[in-house]
Amino acid sequence: MLSPSCNFYDIPQSTLPKSYDYSSNDVTSTVMIDNKTFNVSIVTYDGKVGFTVGMDVIVSLFQLEVGCLLLFTKGFGHFFYLKVFGKNGVEINYPDVDADEAEVPPLDAENEPDEHIDGCVTTFVRMAGEDYFRIPDPVSRKARLDEGLKDLNIRFLHMDPPLQITNGTRREKRPNGRGYRYALTCWKKFIKAARIKVRDQVHYSFDENEQVLSVERVVPYVKQMEQAAVTLLNNVDLNVDDYTIRIRIVRLWTRPTFNNPRKIYCYDMIFMDQEGTKMQAFVLQKNTTGYEHLLKENQCLTIRNPSMGENRQKVKYVHTSFKINLNPNTTVQECNEPVGAEWGFDFSPFDSIVDDPLDDSKSFKSPIDVIGFVVKCLPSDDKSDNNNGKDEKKTTFILEDLQHHQIYVTLWGCYADQILDFEKNNKDEKNVVVVVQFGKYRFWGGNMYVSNLYNVTRVLINSEVKEIMDFKKRFIERLSPEISSSYSGLSSPVVKTVTEEFLSDLTFYPIGSLNSIDTTRFVVIVGTIKSFASNNEWFYNACTTCNKKVSTTTVVKQKQDDTDGVEEVTVLECKTDVCNTKNVSSVPRIRLYIRVQDCTGIVSLTLFEREVTKLLKVNANQLLDNNIELANEGSFPNELNSLLNMKFAFKIAVSSFNITKKSDGYSVSKMTNNPVVLSELDITF
């Protein structure tokens, strides 16, 4: 028996059922002493399991002293037998002690209406307190909390849709020391889940048959200011100064002072009213005395006497030309009623945004909200890229909507990090839905591109948001297995398309800047083939083993006709010593030395058979068969001449030899004349 201040008795782990997880839910056990039963709660605390509430009843009733011994014998389930031994080790019997029913506390609700009992249902009204909620006397009895503490089923009928949760209960002694009263645990979490504010008038009911406590309705505490007529944002009259608006803060960000980046200079916000109309807002930090703690996203406010100014920002975050200013005379108070939708999404179907042929397509337009299923993620840049003069990380992916229209999304900086972090932590996740809210967009090459707007944009990835979950469910229902298998989500594709190869992975260089490269790497250039660097060499004999060039050499060998003597024999010799240990054979391969030019300079490139065959659909053997006479004359086949004056994008390798020797001869790894690639690279140029 421990001191009276202790209310936790550790139960050895070896006696607990291995099949039950006590950390997931508290249980009520039955403890029997001298044929008298008591309900005692078993809870997990600090990693240990032990008896708690209910032991105080046993200690008080049997007047147990500190130092006596409690011998528990575990029965079936959560049933325990208890024997008490004195300090001398002699068992103590209590034949004359009666275990009276614990007294239930009276209604702890001063200055509040009495409860009403209608059969098995008890209804009562309470004003929400700040710290706790004590359960009325009839409800405590009908819930049989005196027999043992338990979780109560709670229904929030005032919410749409209704919500049901479970909430714990606790027992506490009455101030006069006689009996006990009961209360709900975690009251602050309870009122947050129920969207109840302090001083709200709450109507409850308890059904004895169902053992359910219901919140029927909530009457918000109405302040005098909130009784004023509310003006919608679309109806604000610039000639009227005294008006009241009721809004939700959909987005909020801060700007620091000029000489102290840690100090807030002002708050920028996006307000939304009940109809979903959005308007940008602004307030200096020095004017927020008394309500700065209310300035947070998703907060609903009632604002009186704001001023309306002109929004002169070049880039607009909402579709209005006005901005709300909260000046020193503005009154701001918390609004207990929800205003508009929680997130304030205004999604645009991809096909509803049409390219304006008269627009220059160079400037972005804003704002836009999009939601889509990620069908492919283009490889991200390992190094930072340039965005409006700043070096930032970038990632690009393709979104598809419910009508299977697709758009490109490019995110920069912290938004790119958000996507990359999700990809890193969810590598096998293919069903990914992304929301870009308050983004900007433009058209290029017939495709729509969406990007983030500074720090105003909000990006959500597979979030537990109703709109996202509904979209994901509807999209997956429409997918066929064949189509879904081709979607890679945010995982980088293994096999890259031509556009991915030339537009996403590599760095573009003008030809005149190639000599400035100081690290070995692959780069992309764009230019026109102006001529062949060699007038008569367009193929070579390659080793069939290593593809290196072979040459002929004369060696002296023993005669093969079994006659005495030696003879000179011409044989093939490879540049690779390993190949020369056996008979070397060869096959003709195309190798073109070409001169490629753009407006910054000209460069020599070496073009091999693989890329030529892709373009001309012929190999060296076929060219030789068709042009044997030209080959003997050292002339070029007409098929190769067709490459002259054609424009290509080249992926070239910058080797250490190029860097150290300042050599301008580069090998072509890949090339393409894809018009989309050339168009995008021309823009980059």
pLDDT digits (tens, 9 = 90+) for 556-594: 777 766 677 777 778 888 877 767 777 788 888 888 889
Least trusted range by pLDDT, from 69-73, 524-528, 632-636: 632-636
DSSP state of 536: S
More confident residue, 420 or 371: 371
The confidence score (pLDDT) of residue 95 equals 60
The confidence score (pLDDT) of residue 98 equals 47
The confidence band for 22, taking pLDDT boundaries of 50, 70 and 90, is low
The confidence score (pLDDT) of residue 224 equals 47
pTM given for the model: 0.43
User: Is there a contact between 380 and 328 (Cβ–Cβ < 8 Å)?
Assistant: no
User: Is there a contact between 396 and 375 (Cβ–Cβ < 8 Å)?
Assistant: no
Strand-pairing partners, residue 170, are: 183
Dig out the tokens for 180 from the structure: 């006990």
Helices (H), 564-650: 609-616, 620-626, 628-633, 638-641
Q: Is the pLDDT of residue 504 over 80?
A: no
The confidence score (pLDDT) of residue 232 equals 92
The confidence score (pLDDT) of residue 20 equals 63
Phi and psi of 95, rounded to 5°?
Answer: -70, -25
Stretch 320-330: mean pLDDT, rounded? 90
Residues 6 or more apart whose Cβ sits within 8 Å of residue 474? 402
What confidence tens digit (pLDDT) does each residue in 385-440 have? 555 555 678 899 999 998 888 999 999 989 998 988 888 888 777 789 999 999 99
The confidence score (pLDDT) of residue 113 equals 43
The confidence score (pLDDT) of residue 105 equals 32
User: Is there a contact between 410 and 451 (Cβ–Cβ < 8 Å)?
Assistant: yes
CB under 8 Å, gap of 24 or more: what pairs does 33-42 form?
33/58, 33/62, 33/81, 33/82, 33/83, 33/84, 33/94, 34/93, 34/94, 34/95, 34/97, 36/97, 36/99, 37/99, 38/99, 39/147, 39/148, 39/149, 40/148, 41/148, 41/149, 42/11, 42/78
The confidence score (pLDDT) of residue 411 equals 92
Percent of the chain scoring above 70 in pLDDT: 82
| Number of C-beta neighbours around residue 584 at 10 A | 19
The confidence score (pLDDT) of residue 388 equals 54
The confidence score (pLDDT) of residue 5 equals 54
- The conformational region for residue 342 under phi > 0 = left, psi -120 to 50 = alpha, else beta, is alpha
* Residue linked to tokens 């309500």: 291
The rounded distance, in Å, linking the Cα atoms of 665 and 419 is: 39
Strands 665-672 and 647-654: antiparallel
Cis? peptide before 161, omega within 30° of 0: yes
